[in-house]
Structure 1
Amino acid sequence: MANRVARYQADRTNQKFYFSRIYCQLAEETPQAQLQTAHVESAILHLYGGYLAFLQEISHYYHVNLAEPSLTNIEKALAERTQISPEIVRLKKLLQTDFLADIEQAVKQVDFKPVPKEKTENNEKLVLNGKLPVVDVMAKAMTDGLVISVDMVRQWRGQLLEVVESLREGMVEF
């Protein structure tokens, strides 16, 4: 840790992972189902925020000034300088086929209301002016979507934390 450069900001990433862990604990301790769901969603969003904060770490490490760092943006900026980031290559692989893809899917599930697959009498009543309402507390019962458990979020957090730490080991300046 001592040989990291000052501009190498890991604090925000670590903080997001910590918040994710706290929300997992709160979800387990809460007996109320809706509150558990809220805590799990918060844990997922903080976990994904940790991933985004790590992308910002990578962009700072490579001196790439981006308002919103993403794998694609960092890769393009480095390609213009004929550089390749092993961190970006590894994260792209994980995003395509591994747990990082699951995390991204979970974030989309949290951010976007699922649209019912079939028209039934119940969801026809919910449609107002041809649109689904913004908030629908019954959405879970109407869809066949993946139900995300606290254990899943914990497993993803552990895997992502492990990857981030291993990638940080290679991001050292001498």
Structure 2
Amino acid sequence: MPLDETSQQVANALRALRHQHNWSLDRASEATGVSKAMLGQIERGESSPTVATLWKIATGFGVSLSSLLEPKPEIPTTTQLRRVAKLRRNPGGDQMTVAPLLPFEPGLGFEIFELTIEPGDERHSEPHEAGVTEIVIVAKGKMEVLIDSEWQTLNEGDALRFAADKPHGYRNRGRKPAVFYDVIRYSR
């Protein structure tokens, strides 16, 4: 999806969530930690949020990240093939590339992303809802994941499962991009 289509999808999803919750921009700002002005700009399609901002919005509304990036998926009745090259995006012109490989489906309770973190990039994530678990699997390169105030080094092929309902982070101190898969399992 080109950036303008992604921005429009995020705008529509945010507007729909606010109306479903019957929240003002002020209330949405309190719940997400994103300023009222920024939320308004996102809803109007005037600003494309970064991955970090999208996570804050998703957490504040208690929804999956993929629900902001893509229309609600139909429950597949047949085999589903999704091509990662067509799914990669850089929301907000962010350095981190995100591809929603398998968007959240309530019956399954998880979503899977391919993420690429560039050399020198470091991301800190706010805690997700209680009970959320992440599984990180490094496909290419080397990266670190922050858990309980300690950076854990992951090499290509390594996997790590952790409770994502507390602060955590990701960084790449190498010279090449690190590509990893992130499985996010929701408790609800």
TM range (shorter): under 0.3
More helix by share: 1
Please identify the structure whose Cα radius of gyration is greater. Answer: 1
TM-score (norm. length: structure 1)? 0.24
**TM-score, length basis structure 2:** 0.23
Bigger fraction of residues in strand: 2
The higher-RCO structure (CA 8 Å, 6+ apart) is 1
